[in-house]
Structures are given as structure tokens and as C-alpha cells.
Structure 1
Amino acid sequence: MKLIFVAALVFGVAIAAPPSVQSSRRRTMPALQHEEVHDEFGQYALRYVTAEGTVVSERGRLVPTPDGRAHVLVVEGETSYIGDDGKTYVTKYSAGLDGSRVEGAHIPVEPVEV
């Protein structure tokens, strides 16, 4: 009888947890979709979707350097997730010959001086 009471109490506390606690619990779930492809040169493409709505896609491809003597792995990707406030946040990123860049409406931008 005590076991049933404790189980019911734990279940009740879990149901009554604030949304932020519930969403952090969901974030430990495995990916619902997972696709990943690699080739023998190290190029790749991946995409996965998690239970809480996070979507990650990324691609790495080899690009020759300007002098043509070597190759650089250029990475491009996008991550989107639903925040605890219910808004969808999208971040796009790339890294390669021209350096790295990150973009997103939620990321602060440095003011431009005139």
C-alpha cells in the first residue's frame, strides 16, 4: 500500500512540475529522426530531429584552397529549437575559407558606426 501511495505521489509531482522542468526532462529523449552520411574523404551530411522539436542539419564538404594545393573542410549548418518561451529560434552557421559566421534573429548584432 505504501508503494502505491509513493508511486502516486511521485506521479503527481511530475505532472505538477513547471513547464521548464517538464521541457528539460523531454530534452533527454533520443532523436526521433537521425540521418548521417559520410564519404571516404571526410565529407558528410547529417540531420536529426528530437522529441522536443529541435532540428539540426549540417554539411561538411571539401573545397580547394585558392592556390589549389590543398583542401579545406567547409561546414554549413542550421539549428532550430523551441525555447521555453514557446518561440522558435533558428541559428545558421558556417565555417571555411572565409572564416566563421553565425546568424540568428535572437543573436545580438554589433552596432555599425557611421
Structure 2
Amino acid sequence: MNTYKGCHTSDRNNSHQNSIGNMKSVLVIAAILGTAYCRPQDFQQNLQQAFRLASPIYITRYIFDQNPFQNYFYSYEQSDGQQKEERGEFRQGQTPDEVINAVQGSYSYVGPDGQNYNVKYTADENGFQPEGEHIPPSAGVKPKLGISSAALASLSG
């Protein structure tokens, strides 16, 4: 009588486990190669650009003046060509308790495209209103609420 010892079964299990192990190894190697292939090829150059120090920018001119009535004027200019100037004053609003801080100013800077940009602005009870050739007209539209600022203040509590 022949008995079946199961030798063939264990050989089959070992070969099946070996194939799974080989497939896992192939997948790991493929993942490593894929990651290495996808990395930025100019990594060293990108790293140098990311950590490149910009040249320092200095304030070359600065003026600040404030009078006892809290009106003020300031102006500055930087070594990179950026400039700003602003004048502010407090004025009486529509009611005796209402005081409005009205500001007029301008600033200029050199954009990333190398062009010089100039902006003039007003900020008062009508909001911030910038003007510049590069600013779309809708950015400076004045709100038309028809409600006094005192009435708005009473609504907000």
C-alpha cells in the first residue's frame, strides 16, 4: 500500500512562498527606481536657489512728522527703489461724536517683471480707493450704501 506523504505539497508551498517573496522584492525595487527617476534632476541648483541670500535692502530716506492735532506725514525710500508717502488727518464726521481718519498716499515698487508700479490711494469714510494703471477699475469702486457711518455704528452695537 502506498501512502501519500505530502512532499509535493510542501514543495509547492515553498515555491509559492518564494514567488511571493520575489514579487515583493521586484515591487520594492520598482518603487525605489521610480522614486529615483521622479526626483528633480537639477536638485543641487534648486537647493542653491532656495537658500541664496538676497542682498540687503536699506532705507535711504525717512521722514515722519506729527503735529499736536494728530495729523501726520511720513515718507520713506529704500535702496531697491521702493517708495511710500502718506498723509493722514482727523476730520469731523456727520455727528459731533464721529471722527474720521482720512488718509492719502502713494507707493511705488519694481515688480517681478522689472516694471515700475505706482499706486495712489485714499482711505476715508468711503473705504480704501487705490488708483494705478495696473489696477482694474473695479478695485476702486466706492460703496454706495446710502447709510451714514453713525447709523452703521449704532447698528453694530
What TM-score, normalized to structure 1? Answer: 0.66
Number of the residue aligned with 1:91: 119
Deviates more, 1:70-79 or 1:53-62: 70-79
Are 2:65 and 1:25 aligned?
Answer: no
Structure 2 distance, partners of 1:46, 1:54, is 14
Pairing 1:75–2:103 present = yes
Unaligned runs of 5+ in 1: 1-16
The higher relative CO (CA closer than 8 Å, separation ≥ 6) is in 1
Q: In proportion to residue count, which structure has more helix?
A: 2
Gaps of 5+ in 2: 1-47, 139-157
How far is the alpha carbon of 1:68 from its aligned partner? 4.0
Q: 1:48 — aligned with what?
A: 76
Q: CA RMSD in A?
A: 2.6
Q: Is the 8 A contact 1:43 1:73 kept in 2?
A: no
Q: Deviations over 1:35-91 (max 9, x none)?
A: 011123332100000001011000111111123443211011100112232211011
For 1:9, the equivalent position in structure 2 comes to none
Aligned AA (1:25): A
Q: Distance in 1 between matches of 2:126 and 2:136?
A: 21
Indicate the percent of aligned positions where both proteins have the same amino acid. 27
**Residue in structure 2 matched with residue 60 of structure 1 by the alignment:** 88
Structure showing greater Rg = 2
Note the C-alpha offset of 1:32: 0.2
Give, in whole Å, the separation in 1 of the partners of 2:88 and 2:123.
9
Which structure is higher in strand share?
1
| C-alpha distance in structure 2 between counterparts of 1:78 and 1:54, whole Å | 11
SS of the residue 2:137 aligns to: coil
How many pairs are equivalent?
Answer: 90
